[in-house]
Structure 1
Amino acid sequence: MAKGFTFKQFHVNDGGCGMAVSTDGVLLGAWATLPKQGKLIDIGTGSGLLALMMAQRIAPAPCSITAVELDNSAADAAAKNFSNSPWASSLHCVKQDIQQWTHTQPKNNIENIICNPPYFNFGLQADNQTRATARHTDTLTHDALLQSIAYLLTPKGIVSLILPEYEGRKLIQAAEKYGLQCQRLCEVKSTERKPVSRLLIELTPCTVKLDTPKETLCIHNSGQYSAQFVTLTRDFYLKL
């Protein structure tokens, strides 16, 4: 059996990647707004999951997805996953730090960005350095990430992210310094009675405080996946 995770239309081999395929990634890939022109950047692609999900959602329309990844092993895994997918011609992986890559690009030229960023700002790091890099902000602080996003996005561009609840609220506040406002927000709970654990966030360039519509998503209900979760992810998970 192939290593990794098999979805309905593609397979992800996440061996050697800091972060394995996760519910967080699947939620973000299914929730994020699609680019109008089929052009998208995936920051810190890891195994390439988000780029692959977006390629599936955009198809059969033409699309161009650039996945930027700092870690060599993860970038190699993503490139192989792309080449083995039905959308190989639309997907391109760049082995580079996002800040360095940003400086090679024209300003305000990207319509859509998607990112499942590092999120731990403190605390013990994983013994595995690759996993630690993927999970902690040492190599990509949220301020540095927001700087790149603000530089890259067109005036009407969108970036979609997922973060733990505390880190997500802090990032939304920090984004205002870079002229980015939250225009869409989804609070994710594992069950109805549990507190919010994740935030799905959509930012756009704007200097005026926006009245952000708020959604709520519960992953489980009565010991099973909720109808909301199934509706959102059924195009990807094999057993839904």
Structure 2
Amino acid sequence: MSRGFSFKQFHVNDLGCGMPISTDGVLLGAWAAMPQQGRVVDIGTGSGLLALMAAQRTSTLTLPITIEAIEIDPQAAAAARQNFINSPWHQRLQCIAQDVTEWRHTQPPNSVNAIVCNPPYFNFGQQAEQSHRATARHTDTFSHQQLLKTLQWLLTEEGIASIILPSYEGQRLIEAAAEYHLHCIERCDVQSTEKKAPIRLLLQLSKKKQICNSSHLCIHKDGDYSIEFKALTKEFYLKM
């Protein structure tokens, strides 16, 4: 039986990937900024979820959008490629099995219109026993400084990078971004319930400095998904 998760327009098999399908990934894929044309890059694609969501969200645009998914782990890259082949948008999707810190130097600077990334975020603590899971979860192989360097190199002047991180790590990334001439232009604090403190930050970074627009999203309310969460994810989840 195929392992994974079925969405309204595609299925993701995440067998062999370091991180399974998660609410974090779906939130980011639905919330991330998408361009009207050009290139979208998914850094650390894993099973290909964010790239597939980007392909769905840009499928009705008149001008073509190409989506490049970068994945360091060969097993995850193989899963992503198969998920792309099985999707309605296989002609616009490409998976590249390479370390993004090496791949970026093969790309022209200022050439990517949008980047999506659900990066590793554990800076300390016991690592997962499986190496591919550790790579997906810990910053040893891809630090947040390396992420910021990559964004600074790849993004166009009008480009936007969309990221999800735990609240503490997200705040530290915002503070570190200025060193790379990147600015937080959109911030959404995500709560699991109204009574709990935010657990995640959805962030949009850009080279263009402007006032940051702040918002909040609560996932659960009154024993169900909140109206806001349903509105954000309804084009993807089967039962929304």
Gaps of 5+ in 2: none
1:71 to 70, 73, 77: 73
> Are 2:183 and 1:181 equivalent residues in the alignment?
yes
Judge conservation of contact 2:38–2:112 (CA < 8 Å) in 1: no
Percent of matched pairs sharing the same residue: 57
Q: Which piece of structure 1 moves more, 55-64 or 67-76?
A: 55-64
CA distance in 2, matches of 1:90, 1:194: 40
CA distance in 2, matches of 1:5, 1:87: 18
> How much has 1:60 moved relative to structure 2?
2.5
Would the alpha carbon gap of residues 36 and 44 (structure 1) be closer, same or farther in structure 2, given more than 3 Å must change? same
Gaps of 5+ in 1: none
AA at the equivalent of 1:218: C
Provide the residue aligned with 1:95 in structure 2: 97
2:107 to 105, 108, 115: 105
> How much has 1:2 moved relative to structure 2?
2.6
Q: How does 1:143-154 map to 2 (within 5 A)?
A: 143-154=145-156
> How much has 1:211 moved relative to structure 2?
2.3
Provide the residue aligned with 1:116 in structure 2: 118
CA distance in 2, matches of 1:112, 1:34: 6
Provide the residue aligned with 1:17 in structure 2: 17
Tell me which stretches of 4 or more aligned residues in structure 1 moved more than 6 Å. Answer: none
Q: Please state whether the residue corresponding to 1:76 is helix, strand or coil.
A: helix
CA distance in 1, matches of 2:138, 2:36: 32
Provide the residue aligned with 2:46 in structure 1: 46
Q: Please state whether the residue corresponding to 2:106 is helix, strand or coil.
A: coil
Judge conservation of contact 1:55–1:90 (CA < 8 Å) in 2: yes
Q: Please state whether the residue corresponding to 1:56 is helix, strand or coil.
A: helix
CA distance in 2, matches of 1:64, 1:139: 27
> How much has 1:124 moved relative to structure 2?
1.1
CA distance in 1, matches of 2:21, 2:8: 14
CA distance in 1, matches of 2:31, 2:188: 9
Would you say how many aligned residue pairs link Structure 1 and Structure 2?
Answer: 238
TM-score by length of 1: 0.97
